[in-house]
Structure 1
Amino acid sequence: MQPHSRRTFLALGLLTLTACTADHTGPASGTGGLRPDPDTPVRLRAIAATDALLAGYDTLPPPPGVRSADLRAEVARQRAALAEGLTAAAVPSPPVTTAPTSTSPSPAGPSPAGPSPAGPSPAGPSPAGPTPAGPGLAELERRTGESHLADLEAASPSLARLLASAAAANGVHAAILGAPAPPAPARATASPSATPAPSPTPAALTALQNALGAEHAAVYGYGVVGAHLPGDSRLADARTAYAAHQAQRDTWQRLVAALGAAPTPAAGGYRLPFPVVSAADAAGLAAHLETRLTTVYADLVAAVPAPHRLTAALALRDCALRAHRWGAPDQPIPGIQDQAPTPSPTAG
């Protein structure tokens, strides 16, 4: 099961949140017996999809320069998290690594000096000829992530949080393996105005307001990021991210207002978590913003009514992908690891 609480600094570290994720443990029935855990079929489906992905890593060679052993190890950690709480008899045996993996010294993720593009490499085929395995692994990662997202509404809040975080990791892995960014139509289908949802609980409203506050801070932060980047592709990335966070901020404002609450306003200004005086500092701030937002959105997936989970999960995946592009360390399950404490700045 996932941690029951964790102190998280939202976006620029301006807010502190104790994440409370609902846990589903199969409560006792009125007759004294244990009721079957409704999460079990969801967990088993997720494990089966993950096992198919692990088998792909064992049979398909990676694209040049990718350390598939590192990616496979992260997928295996996802599987272990999905299986936690199930009886040993209910969980099939995991696949065993049988195929050699890449010996390239290149890391799976981007270097701190600057991440590589998420799209396919323009380089030509290897001397051995065209290698279809890279796109094959990327497609397996993408399909696994989509299968996790498809089960969000059927899961308990805590399991939905785990599925969304695993799907975000699958999206990052697919990018490392050369897949293009997820298509825009997938995001459009998740508009919170498209499907009416049950009345939210106070905890759900609090999580929505926290996400809105974090997006206000991210919009401010990206204004600082853009001011310290040269006029190249990194500046274009910052502008794209700035627009994305503005759009996400507006989405949460509309949803909070539609639920009858007053949206959290932006602060007059924010004190940054560290000085930003160079392009490297700016990239570090962008990575910091996106990494912190993965935890905000993982918490939101667990808090909101089921029809709104996909919107929060796609926001989580987008933040994980942007964090990867800005050079942040990739996480096997973004947003649910305990974060190292950082100085807590204040709004200014």
Structure 2
Amino acid sequence: MPSPTRRTVLALGALAGALLAAGCTEDHRDADRADRPDPDLPLRLRAVAATDRLLTDYDAVIAGPGADRAAALRELRADVEEHRAALAAGLPAPSPSGPTPSSATASAMSATSATAAPAAGVAALAAAERRTAAERLADLEAASPALARLLASVAASGALHVRALGDPGPIAPPAPTATAPGASAPGVSASASAPVSPSAAPTGAPPTGAAPAGSAGGSASGHPAPLPTGAVAALQAALSAEHAAVYGYGVVGARTPAGPQRDAARAGYAAHQARRDALQRELDGAGATPTAAAAGYRLPFAVSDAAGAGQLAAHIETQLTAVWADAVAGTGGALRQTAATALRETALRAAQWGADLSALPGLPEQDAADGAGTTPGTSASASG
């Protein structure tokens, strides 16, 4: 890994400034939509039903043998309660008389309501977490930008829970039933929750020279396939943050002695290089000019030893969870799945470096309380 030779170093603003600005919805559009059915309602109902099922699984395991793990399981359960609150925000309150659910409600809840017995042990609980996260990923494409951002964050938290429960198995959505003509199938890395290995390819990153999942790649006539303006802005913001992350990991590696921590630094450096390169190819294939690396970066705090290097790596990854959560909202289709994969992977690396992530990685606390907040806009800023 190259040592940093520039006098300027990583700036917090280079990552935080890459976040997409929250968009505002015009009042008259809100009024127009007030009488329309909420297209996210079936997805929210299904997610809430699945989350209730997961809470039941936690209760069954906590009440069973192995009380030594009960405290840790309660902490994970508290995260799941936060997921439920965010997913249920804005749902119509049930009538005190308990009316029969509508057909849409019944259909949305039927897939998660009924069959298996509660999880009987920690391994079964990890499998339930993985299954629930995969279901949230399967709903990404049909969700509104704001709900997709929330679902991807819930799935990222589920990946963290799976790891905490001792299961390194992958988090992946079910195979799509149909793919739009000319589009790649949504790409989710099977290694999304695998431990970082210095000898392995970067987690979830395409091999060098390969187009990323959902790549525009140009049309059959050889002309670039354009992306929506909002998707381009989201990818450019992510690219700016990945440029900064690559430089930041250069600092991490330079301040870390040989050993497992430096191996993890090398793996993180390679993963962010691959993400950066994939984003550049994606934008270039769509006819957009990829954002260049800034002329200089500044560290958010002094890094003089291995402890400081680890804190910097945790800081970088935590900042990137917000960048990639916004990219989920700003894109669609296979690109949305790719952004959700990046969100999960950066959350897992943040946890590996000791970051204390919230129950909803990448979402500001107020957005989480509001059920995903507003849809990110298309503007982005950068600082150097």
Distance 2:251 2:30 in 1: 49
Return closer, same or farther for 1:259/1:81 CA change in 2, 3 Å cut-off: same
- Residue in 1 aligned with 2:333? 306
- Residue in 2 aligned with 1:70? 75
Cα shift at 1:135: 1.4
- Residue in 2 aligned with 1:213? 240
Higher relative contact order (CA 8 A, sep 6+): 2
Cα shift at 1:16: 6.1
Cα shift at 1:305: 2.5
- Residue in 1 aligned with 2:135? 147
Question: Residue 156 in 1 paired to residue 144 in 2?
Answer: yes
- Residue in 2 aligned with 1:321? 348
Corresponding letter in the other structure for 2:215: S
Return closer, same or farther for 1:194/1:14 CA change in 2, 3 Å cut-off: closer
TM-score, length basis structure 1: 0.76
8 A contact 2:145–2:328 mirrored in 1: yes
- Residue in 2 aligned with 1:193? 215
8 A contact 2:20–2:234 mirrored in 1: no
Distance 2:35 2:15 in 1: 44
8 A contact 2:252–2:313 mirrored in 1: yes
8 A contact 2:243–2:293 mirrored in 1: yes
- The partner residue of 2:294 within 256, 262, 267 is 267
Task: Give per-residue Cα distances to partners, 1:21-43, cap 9 Å, x unaligned.
Answer: 889xx9667xx982211101111
Corresponding letter in the other structure for 1:276: V
Distance 1:140 1:163 in 2: 16
Return closer, same or farther for 1:139/1:195 CA change in 2, 3 Å cut-off: farther
User: Identity across aligned pairs (percent)?
Assistant: 50
Cα shift at 1:204: 2.2
Return closer, same or farther for 1:293/1:50 CA change in 2, 3 Å cut-off: same
Return closer, same or farther for 1:304/1:196 CA change in 2, 3 Å cut-off: farther
8 A contact 1:22–1:157 mirrored in 2: no
Return closer, same or farther for 1:21/1:10 CA change in 2, 3 Å cut-off: farther
Return closer, same or farther for 1:55/1:132 CA change in 2, 3 Å cut-off: closer
Cα shift at 1:175: 0.8
Distance 2:303 2:36 in 1: 54
Question: Residue 87 in 1 paired to residue 92 in 2?
Answer: yes
8 A contact 2:216–2:282 mirrored in 1: no
Q: Name which of structure 1's ranges 81-90 and 326-335 shifts more when overlaid on structure 2.
A: 81-90
8 A contact 2:226–2:287 mirrored in 1: no
Cα shift at 1:17: 4.5
- Residue in 1 aligned with 2:180? none
Distance 2:169 2:217 in 1: 25
> Which 4+ residue blocks in structure 1 deviate beyond 6 angstroms?
26-29, 194-198
Return closer, same or farther for 1:195/1:178 CA change in 2, 3 Å cut-off: farther
SS at match of 1:36: coil
Corresponding letter in the other structure for 2:36: R
Distance 1:165 1:196 in 2: 30
- The alignment's C-alpha RMSD in Å is 3.2
8 A contact 1:21–1:157 mirrored in 2: no
8 A contact 1:222–1:242 mirrored in 2: yes
- Residue in 1 aligned with 2:6? none
8 A contact 1:11–1:218 mirrored in 2: no
What are the residue-to-residue correspondences of 1:39-78 with 2, within 5 Å?
39-61=40-62, 64-65=68-69, 67-78=72-83
What are the residue-to-residue correspondences of 1:235-314 with 2, within 5 Å?
235-314=262-341
Return closer, same or farther for 1:51/1:338 CA change in 2, 3 Å cut-off: closer
Distance 1:175 1:284 in 2: 21
Distance 2:31 2:22 in 1: 26
SS at match of 2:141: helix
- The partner residue of 1:134 within 122, 132, 137 is 122
Distance 2:272 2:355 in 1: 18
Corresponding letter in the other structure for 1:178: G
Cα shift at 1:20: 3.0
- Residue in 1 aligned with 2:21? 18
Return closer, same or farther for 1:261/1:270 CA change in 2, 3 Å cut-off: same
Structure 2 residues not aligned, in runs of 5+: 1-11, 95-100, 114-118, 172-188, 192-203, 207-211, 220-224, 367-381
TM-score, length basis structure 2: 0.69
